[in-house]
Structure 1
Amino acid sequence: MEHTFLLKADWNGGRNSDGRIEAGQLRTAISIPAEMGGPGVGTNPDEMLLGAAATCYLITLAAMMERASLPVASLGLESEGIVDVTNNIFTYRRIVHRPWVQLAADASESQIEQALRLTEQAETSCMISRAVAGNVALSTEPVVERAS
């Protein structure tokens, strides 16, 4: 079975212009980020790649924890994308996911260990991670704790 996703885009001129994209529920302005000499309007490919990787990772992690019947009290994520600029060539170097998982106060030590393992496994199970593997370094820095 295949799933098809469609994105439509409009662009208003040259490199330092802006545009709009629409894909399903995503509707936003786009441009080159100000940090890279662009107008900084709306979002940009760097943020969208990071957003795709982060949301895929988080949804995958949540599904894995649910299947494992872990007593998750809360789940969150901070992700960082690092882009290198050498000789005016922009290269997406790495993405670091920093998930934090809070299990129920009565979670066992083995459940905490299992949650830690799943934070690592989710990275290799995520469709977007697999798509960029070999081109962008991926890593996780998880925190798993019991609710107080």
Structure 2
Amino acid sequence: MNIAYTAEALATGDGRDGQGRTSDGKLDVTLAVPVEMGGTGEGTNPEQLFAVGYAACFHSALRVVARRQKADVTDSTVAAKVGIGSNGQGGFGLAVELEVSLPAVDAETAQALVEAAHQVCPYSNATRGNIEVKLSVAGVAA
């Protein structure tokens, strides 16, 4: 693989209760365990950061695929949900739901674009076979 860009980040403190910062200083966040997991919830958490990253990455892949197919993705959005829970083997696992809105195309075209984007997206390729990823299409043209 020919690496085009490498992000660098450092986590300090107590892991999920600490700080996270990129080497260029563009992202500097307080991390906190969510209330639902017994924490204070007074900061962001890795699942939120992953959800934002996956949504943005998938949206970019969708736009690449749409350009190739000359499809209109005006006003498109990608919403991500990332869940965390016990994997039943003493560890934890993640589950992802991506909901894609494509108001300028019909349902069949939207579904084809989403499936193609799932093959292009680096996050999808990295998680395939490791994390359950549910894809859904909403907000399509009539």
TM-score (norm 1): 0.77
Partner secondary structure for residue 74 of structure 1: coil
Aligned residues of 2:62 and 2:117 also touching (Cα < 8 A): yes
1:19 aligns with 2:19: yes
Post-superposition CA distance 1:28-61 (Å, at most 9, x none)? 2112222111222321112222222222111111
Counterpart-to-counterpart distance in 2, 1:37 and 1:88:
18
Structure 2 CA distance, aligned partners of 1:145 and 1:61? 15
Gaps of 5+ in 1: none
RMSD across aligned C-alpha pairs, in angstroms? 2.5
CA distance in 1, matches of 2:138, 2:123: 22
Q: Which residue of 2 aligns with 1:115?
A: 110
Alignment match, 1:39: 40
Deviation of 1:15 after TM superposition, in Å, equals: 6.4
1:69-148 equivalent positions in 2, closer than 5 A: 69-85=70-86, 89-92=91-94, 94-103=95-104, 113-143=108-138, 145-146=140-141
Q: Which residue type is aligned with residue 75 of structure 1?
A: S
The SS at the match of 1:98 is strand
Structure index of larger Rg: 1
Gaps of 5+ in 2: none
Hey, what's the Cα distance between the residues in 2 that align with 1:101 and 1:142? 8
Query: Counterpart amino acid of 1:9?
Result: A
Q: Structure 1 residues 4 and 135, CA, compared in 2 at 3 Å: closer, same or farther?
A: same
Distance 1:15 1:52 in 2: 19
Q: Does 1:8 align with 2:3?
A: no
TM-score (norm 2): 0.79
Q: Is the 8 A contact 1:82 1:95 kept in 2?
A: yes
Seq. identity, %:
22
Quick check: 119-128 or 2-11, which moved more? Answer: 2-11
Distance 2:47 2:72 in 1: 34
